[in-house]
Amino acid sequence: MMKKRLLMAVVLIMMLIVAACSDGTATEVENSQGNKEEAKSEAKSEAKSGGRLLLGTTAAPTLFNPYYSTDTSSSTIEGFIFSGLVTVDTDFNPEGDLAESWEFSDDGLTWTFKLRENVKWHDGEDFTADDVVFSYNIPLSEDYIGPRGLPFEIIEEVNKVDDYTVEIVLSEPYAPFITITAQFEILPEHILGDVPIAELGKNAAFNTKAPIGTGPFKFKEWKEGEYIQLDAFDEYFKGKPKLESIIYKIVPDTNTLMAQLQVGDINLAGISPQYIETAKKLEEQGKVVVSSGNSNAFEYIGYNLRNELFKEKEVRQALTHAIDKEAIVQAILDGAGTVAHGPGSPANWAFNPDVPKFEYDPELAKKKLEEAGWTPGPDGVLEKDGKKFEFVLKTTSANEIRQQIAEVVQQQWSEIGVKVSIELLEWSAYVEQTSPPLWNFDAIVAGWSIGSDPDPTWFWHTSEIANGLNYNGFSNARVDELLSSNTKISDIEERKRIIAEADAIVAEEQVNTFLYYVHGSLAKSPNLHGPEFNAANTYYKIHEWYFE
């Protein structure tokens, strides 16, 4: 069978060459002076190693197992601890990680990965093909009940060819397959191989107390509600990290985060839109460096379609008509966002800007609700069949923007006769209540980060309702048909057309009120070299980051 080479990833070890020429003319120094110059150069090189990265966040993680976690904080830390077969660069291009190269057959069904040799787990054991076979078989098991099973449904076999070669056989072509492998890091078979699959998601001994990976940093300590400490892994296969450790510091709110960034108690943090001006002032003072751009994400109000209140699309459309999204962007985000009308993100190639739009129009909102049978009761709250139009809007107490959005929409919905109470939850409680199997919410203010491939099957396909990421419980036969076909097509323009049609239907249905597309910003200490905001991989090559 003719094989096609997709990519041979070459790891480039950066040589930090320090020139110590004070007058710009000296090119060669001999004898004792040469030794002095060499010593100066070594001292400067040494200064580019070490240091502790204090990474600030308002959202605590939940567990460290990429086959079971669903929140951004957990995924971020997993990326430091574990390695995948591939990773993506800052432009979403795949490049080798644990796999140094891969090939696929002419029909796109058989993928062969050549693994790196001499890779060590954090406990000193050797990484081999057995670990890949073990990890990729977790979601294939009938006992797997995690939320990440979707892309594994097309995997028929995961075979060990030899200790450093793995063959994966698909049942059908799957366009996102290579970038999907970047989202699923490899777990240690020698530690977890005897744990029943049904118990892996709740295996606290590994998932929260002692995760072992092959990544650049190894787990040291998790102090609940305060920080997670990761230390550099000296035997990391791409080279010993220059940073000594990472402290993933959890702070109660964004005000605290900004204050700690200002005084140096944090030296890297994502900046919420309402604090951009504050961050820029700190930059003018030389305290931070700010980088910004479009994030691969959107913010939304999500409706639980299991609730009878939200069954009719006209009602959901009315709720959207009642919200002034432009005012939210300007007043709460200080303009650091773009009004959204549908899913996706302008940061990726599949974005469809031409979806149905439901502009701010409170009178039209009232009309639609009246046509749906909702009329004002004695207290002004809409009623239908003896039931009031009232529900709880949940979000996390750690995110001030989402709290403010909840308060704004609460007021704007009250003006059309919809009564809403707000419930703020600590992050881990919020994740638990709004995720499978509980689905304990009426509506939420939330956000979605889109993966390295923009396939929206995760969010909207009926198959993802029970245990997946279709939090809304949305089901549409035409959307299912489109999404099932999009991953079988290699032509990117055809995929884009299909995803655009699905996104247009989702927008028409107003499964969510899509609020805005996120503008992301990153603030770092001026002497921290490496971090630069990008939509694809914020922590790209973190093992090469260093403090001056």
152-156, 452-456, 496-500: which has the minimum mean pLDDT?
Answer: 452-456
Instruction: List the strands of the sheet with 155-162, edge to edge.
Output: 3-8, 99-105, 110-115, 165-170, 155-162
pLDDT at 388 over 50: yes
pLDDT at 131: 98
pLDDT digits (tens, 9 = 90+) for 109-158: 999 999 999 999 999 999 999 999 999 999 999 999 988 888 898 999 99
> Are 476 and 461 spatial neighbours (Cβ–Cβ below 8 Å)?
no
pLDDT at 280: 92
pLDDT at 48: 60
Total domains in the chain come to 2
Across-strand partners of 520?
A: 293
Please report the DSSP string for 50-105 in residue order. --EEEEEESS----S-TTT--SHHHHHHHHHH---SEEE-TTS-EEESSEEEEEEE
pLDDT at 304: 97
Q: Are residues 542 and 472 in the same domain?
A: no
pLDDT at 41 over 70: no
> Are 419 and 390 spatial neighbours (Cβ–Cβ below 8 Å)?
yes
Q: Which of the pair, 47 or 331, is modelled with greater confidence?
A: 331
The arithmetic mean of pLDDT across residues 518-527, rounded, is 93
DSSP classification of residue 351: -
Is 417 a member of any domain? Answer: yes
Can you give the CATH number for the domain in which 178 is found? 3.40.190.10
The residue range of the domain holding 2 is 1-8+49-267+525-548
Mean of the per-residue pLDDT values of the chain: 89
pLDDT digits (tens, 9 = 90+) for 187-206: 999 999 999 999 999 999 99
pLDDT at 23 over 80: no
pLDDT digits (tens, 9 = 90+) for 275-300: 888 999 999 999 999 999 889 999 99
Measure Cα distances from 69 to 79, 202, 295, 428 in Å: 12, 11, 21, 11
> Are 103 and 95 spatial neighbours (Cβ–Cβ below 8 Å)?
no
The arithmetic mean of pLDDT across residues 431-453, rounded, is 90
pLDDT at 5 over 70: no
Is 510 a member of any domain? Answer: yes
pLDDT at 44 over 60: no
Q: Are residues 502 and 536 in the same domain?
A: no
pLDDT digits (tens, 9 = 90+) for 57-74: 988 999 999 999 988 899
> Are 452 and 182 spatial neighbours (Cβ–Cβ below 8 Å)?
yes
Q: Are residues 485 and 394 in the same domain?
A: yes
In degrees and rounded to multiples of 5, residue 166 shows phi and psi of -125, 140
Q: Are residues 515 and 537 in the same domain?
A: no
Interatomic CA distance for residues 119 and 310, integer angstroms:
51
Q: Are residues 259 and 310 in the same domain?
A: no
The arithmetic mean of pLDDT across residues 316-344, rounded, is 95
Can you give the CATH number for the domain in which 340 is found? 3.10.105.10
pLDDT at 466: 87
Percent of the chain exceeding pLDDT 70 equals 91
